[in-house]
Amino acid sequence: MERAIAHMDLDTFFVSCERLRDSVLEKQPVIIGGGDRGVVASCSYEARKFGVRSAMPLRMALRLCPEAQVIKGDMEYYSKMSHLVTEIIQEKVPVMEKASVDEFYLDLSGMDKFFGCYQWTSEIAETVKKKTGLPISFALSTNKTVSKIGTGEAKPSGKLELKPLAIQPFLNPLSVRKIPMVGDVTFELLSRLGIRKIETLSQMPVDVLQELIGKNGTELWKKANGIDLTPVVQYSERKSISTETTFAEDTIDIPNIRSILSGMVEQLCYQLRQEKWLTSTVSVRIRYANFDTETKQCKVAYTSADHTLLKYILELFKKVYTRRMRIRLVGVKFTGLVHGNHQMNLFEDTEELISLYQTMDKMKDRFGAKSLGRASGFLTQ
């Protein structure tokens, strides 16, 4: 059976959310970000015309577009709107994968026997726009890669259907940058070899690409030829990651317990970033010496940043530990997970802080997850 995979993406999601609250921002250059030393979390198409891009230092963005309206951003509000869109889409499709707070994959394979897949996806997009006021674009093809590229070309507020025979002609004239797995380093490498268009890349011998790029060479060649068998993974917010420690002896050493919680948060946040997850719910669990167990949890804006989540965890511990009794076990759990790349709080974090996380993660990749961390997290039990 021929697959029918749609990719839907909310257009300039953060900006669109802000425009729902303030119509004055319509058709104005808007930048979502915070602080003079912060970075651009999102920007409107009007700002992009001046060269402004996501993750760009805010100071540079304002030099390029001094008349831009700068808004700090409200991730709690954006998370709420993301949940609303998720519910609308999830009700209407058999299989939906939430790739990030504003991006969705739908597997509509076989539905053309009952509905036209393109018409069905169009109606979903219209429903999202009608019920939320948010603009959304989509593309429909036989796989995730082609549909994601198609959505990018359809924006803003566009839609595109790519039947099998139309896929390669569609891909050929596009820049290799359009392929999701091609970052700056790979693009520069390919450019030095004279490979700038997908058509050129698709015609390269696979073994040559493997020698040049490594194990990803074959995968890159497949994508350039419109081949991607990656399945759409059913979305579920019940997924979680957690860790806990049972003490050798029951303890009332609160500073040490806080230190252990710090280490737990670092460990779990590193895992989130490695697997490209964001969490929206955090909880702390304690078990007293008499085996009574208590848990406290709270909702948070989607994130995977240690310093943000540690603050909530320590607050929850303060609330859950209400007796002057020794503790036998302590644990931390992150739930409400979605895949996403907004790993930092781009509305508050500086370029230096974001760079620090990236550098620390690279060192952990090389030397092990426990090789580096906050000093407080290294205290022994």
Q: What is the β-pairing status of strands 69-71 and 136-141?
A: unpaired
Q: Are 7 and 138 in contact, with CB atoms under 8 Å apart?
A: yes
**What helix, strand, coil percent values describe the chain, rounded to 5?**
45, 25, 35
Over residues 152-210, the pLDDT tens digits come to 999 999 999 999 999 999 999 999 999 998 988 889 989 998 999 999 999 999 998 88
The stretches of the chain forming alpha helices (DSSP H) are: 13-21, 45-48, 58-64, 75-90, 117-132, 144-154, 164-171, 184-192, 198-202, 206-213, 216-224, 254-274, 306-320, 351-367
CA–CA distance from 365 to each of 93, 181, 217, 266 (Å)?
38, 19, 22, 14
Q: Are 313 and 268 in contact, with CB atoms under 8 Å apart?
A: no
The answer on pLDDT for 372 being more than 80 is no
pLDDT reported for residue 375: 60
Over residues 292-336, the pLDDT tens digits come to 999 999 998 888 888 889 999 999 999 999 998 999 999 999 998
SS3 50: coil
Over residues 12-46, the pLDDT tens digits come to 999 999 999 999 999 999 999 876 667 898 999 99
What is the rounded CA–CA span in Å between residue 325 and residue 195?
66
pTM value is: 0.74
User: Is position 97 annotated as part of the catalytic site?
Assistant: no
Confidence of residue 245 (pLDDT cuts 50, 70, 90): very high
Question: Rounded mean pLDDT of 80-86?
Answer: 92
Instruction: Give the residue from 187, 253, 250, 193 showing the smallest Cα distance to 220.
Output: 187
Q: What is the β-pairing status of strands 95-100 and 327-335?
A: unpaired
In our burial notation (b when 16+ CB lie closer than 10 A, e otherwise), range 183-217 reads: eeebbeebeeeebebbbebbebeeeebbebbeeeb
What percent of the chain is predicted at pLDDT more than 90? 65
Question: Rounded mean pLDDT of 97-124?
Answer: 89
User: Is residue 365 annotated as involved in ligand binding?
Assistant: no
User: Is residue 102 annotated as involved in ligand binding?
Assistant: yes
pLDDT reported for residue 349: 56
What is the rounded CA–CA span in Å between residue 117 and residue 101?
24
Question: Rounded mean pLDDT of 222-238?
Answer: 87
- Ordered domains of the chain (ranges, CATH): 5-11+76-166 (3.30.70.270), 13-75 (3.40.1170.60), 169-225 (1.10.150.20), 240-377 (3.30.1490.100)
The answer on pLDDT for 361 being more than 70 is no
More confident residue, 264 or 275: 264
pLDDT reported for residue 185: 86
Question: Rounded mean pLDDT of 335-361?
Answer: 62
Confidence of residue 79 (pLDDT cuts 50, 70, 90): confident
What percent of the chain is predicted at pLDDT more than 70? 87
Catalytic residue among 18, 97, 103, 266: 103
